[in-house]
Structures are given as C-alpha cells and as structure tokens.
Amino acid sequence: MKTARPPRLRGILLPASIVVSFLASSSAPTPLYAKYADRWHFSPITTTIVFGIYCIAVLAALLVLGRVSDHLGRKPVLLGALALQIAAMVVFSEAGDVGALFAGRILQGVGTGTALGALGAAMLDIDRERGTRANAIAPGLGSGIGALSSGLIVQYLPAPTRLIYLVFIGVFLVQALGVALLPETIGRRPGLRAALLPDLAMPRHLRPLLFAVAPVLFAVWSLGGFYGSLAPALARQLSGSDSAVIGGLGLFVLTVVSSVTIVAIARIPPGTVTFLGITLLVLGSLSTLLAVEASSVTAFFVGTFVSGIGFGAGFQGGMRTVVPLVANHERTGVLSSIYVICYLGMGLPAVVAGNLVVYGGGLPTATRDYSLFVVTLAVATLITLLRIRGRTRRASLTCAAPDGVHRAPCLNR
C-alpha cells in the first residue's frame, strides 16, 4: 500500500541530487587519468577501458536490477546503491594500481545502474512534468560538476587522488540519511524474481518512438564519452598546458551548457527540440574538427559550447518524446531501457577511440574520426526522423480515440 507522498519540491530535489552526485563521482576520475597514467605507465587504451568498464557495469545493473525498485520499493534500492558508491569511493581513495581503478569503476557502475531507474521513477512518481525535466537535467549537471571540482582539487589542494573521493563519501552519507527519512513512494508488489531476468521493458506502443530517438540518444552520449575519456588530453595538447582544470573544463562546459539548454527549451515541443539538438550536434562536432586542424583551444571550447546545446536539446527531445507517455508501473523499466542506449553510446565509441589513439594515428586523428562518427550518426537520425514524421502526424489523429483509449504515440505532443 502506498504511503503519503512527500512535498513535491523536497521529493524531487533529493533523488535529483543523488543522480547529480552519482554522475559527478563517475566523472571525478576524468582529470586524474593523466596522473594515474604517469604513475602506473598505462596507455590511452587503458584509460578508455577503465572508462568503458564503468559503462558495462551500469548496463549490466540496468538490465538485471533496473526494475527491482518496482517490487522492493524505491528506498531499499537507493540505500543499497549509495552503499555501493561509498565502497567505490573507498577503493578509489586507496588505489595503488590499475586493478583498483577497475574494481572501483565496477562498484560505481553497479551502484549507478541499480539506482538510475529507481531515481528517475521516484521523480516521476512525485511530478510527471518536473520529474521528466529533472531526469534530463541531472545527469549532465552531475558529470560537469564532478569533472570541474575534481580538476580544481587536483590542481590546487593536497592529496588530489584521495580528497575528491573523501568529499563524495561525505555527500553519499548525507544523502543516505535523507533517503532513510523520506516516505516510500511505491509499495512492495510480487514478481521480484521475474524482474531479475534481463529484459528491456518497453511497451509495444512506445517502441516506434524509442527506435526513432535512440540514435540521437546514442550520439549525444557518445560525445559525452569522448569528453569523459579523451577530451581532457586533447584540451591539454591544444592549450600546451598540463593543467588538470583545463582537462576537466571541456566536460564541464559540455554538460553544464546541456543542462541550461534543457531548462531554456522546456516549453518547446519535443520533436522540434530533437531536430534542434541534431543540427547543433553536427555543428559542434564540425567545430571540433576545425579546432584540431587549426590546433586552437579556443575553437575547441567554442565547439564544446555548441555541442553542449546540441547534447541538451537532443537528450531532452528524446526523453520528452517517450517518458511522458509511460504508465506508472512501466516507469522504471522504460527509463532503464533509455539509459541502456545512453551508456552503450558513452562506452563503446570511447573504447574504439582509445585504440585509434594508439594504433590509428594519435589523438588528433582519433578526434577527427570520433567527430565524423557523431556527425554521421546525427545525420542518419535526422533522415530517419524526417521519414517517420509524416507517418507520426497521420498517426496523431488516432492518439486520442473517441473512447479515450490511447492507440498511437505522437512525436510532437
């Protein structure tokens, strides 16, 4: 039986803050990779594999544990995920070799993957419209804050490879207390064992929409994967500086601009927002190509700014196309399915790019290939959306049947 809901603002802010802190902690190692590589003598391939193993762990947790909160309730799942995050921070703070980085990233990924669906569903339980917006804003905001704060700590404070993780341990402990004090937003229900079987839970009537926006979700998060793994080294190379702040600034600009964009375009129809995101994603990626050709750090950050707008618009458009149409009992599964696409986009291209750095001509060549990949994927998405837009408009005539039964989704609703 459901318990009373908390006040809306408090109820949304706490799970949103947990998403922010989880994603912030995941990007905290970004400015530290150069220090780790110098200390333990590993190549960019190792950097991207360490980055990619986190994405694999998130995907595995999403597939196996993503729907658990629908059966156990939100609170126990979130408390367990916070405990895993604390354990990951302890491992990172005591890391003495690359193996510890892998172990910390796996713990971190499982905790994040377990919680993302529950956190997103908890925000939607409280307020569908604001919850949808918070689901789109919080990941980018967290990634940016984590990268910049880590860079500042590495550059200006003592014990850089420990302090940032100790800060996050304190944050997670406070958030665990907050979760423990909040009322539950959903009651227990049977079916837990079946929910543990890997399944991308997507209702049949939403599948065409998800397939339509999946490429742009993949593209924007692949850009996030680049900025979280290789862009710090590129920014330092273009600037001629070894500053950790410069290394983390690219991811910060990309993700914070994307979050501001999501707020700014909240009232624009999702179909229009998606097209805007694709266009700016292409322009931003082309700007990165020009920055590499001109060896200009200024052009790199201009391209990052434009890409950030494209990231925010593309992700917001994809989320708002699908999420508002999800029934209450489908929320966790659908959000987990969306995040599977996102984390595949974040992890796989980054690992390929790491191999290109070592075996394909170095960092500039890998950056050019990565940018062209994002452009190609964005253009392919645009062509697909243009083809289905006419069909969707015709289908919109049956979105609200006379008997009130939903029969077809609407892209521009």
3-state secondary structure of 39: helix
pLDDT for res 10: 61
pLDDT for res 195: 58
pTM of the model: 0.74
Query: Burial code of 50-73, b = ≥16 C-beta within 10 A, e = fewer?
Result: bbbbbbbbbbbbbbbbbbbbbbbb
Indicate the average pLDDT of the chain.
80
In the chain, % of residues over pLDDT 90: 16
Predicted confidence (pLDDT) per residue in 163-201, tens digit: 999 999 999 999 999 888 877 656 666 656 655 666 666
Q: What is each CA distance from 49 to 44, 229, 300, in whole angstroms?
A: 9, 9, 24
Least confident range of 7-16, 83-92, 386-395: 386-395
Domain positions in the chain are 8-184+203-396
Predicted confidence (pLDDT) per residue in 354-407, tens digit: 888 877 778 888 888 888 888 888 887 788 777 766 565 555 545 444 444 444
pLDDT for res 6: 47
3-state secondary structure of 400: strand
Query: Burial code of 243-278, b = ≥16 C-beta within 10 A, e = fewer?
Result: ebbbbbbbbbbbbbbbbbbbeebbeebbbebbbbbb
- In single-letter form, the type of residue at position 267 comes to R
pLDDT for res 169: 96
Average pLDDT over residues 404-411: 45
pLDDT band (50, 70, 90) for residue 411: very low
pLDDT band (50, 70, 90) for residue 304: very high
pLDDT for res 383: 80
| DSSP bridge partners of 374 | none
CATH topology of domain 8-184+203-396: Growth Hormone; Chain: A; (1.20.1250)
Asked if pLDDT for residue 286 goes beyond 70, the answer is yes
Predicted confidence (pLDDT) per residue in 262-285, tens digit: 888 888 888 888 888 889 989 998
Calpha distance 82→59 (Å, rounded): 17
Residue of higher predicted confidence among 109 and 320? 109
The conformation of residue 268, written as its DSSP 8-state character, comes to S
Instruction: With CA atoms as reference, report the closest residue to 124 among 322, 377, 285.
Output: 322
pLDDT for res 393: 59
3-state secondary structure of 243: coil
pLDDT for res 405: 44
The conformation of residue 182, written as its DSSP 8-state character, comes to S
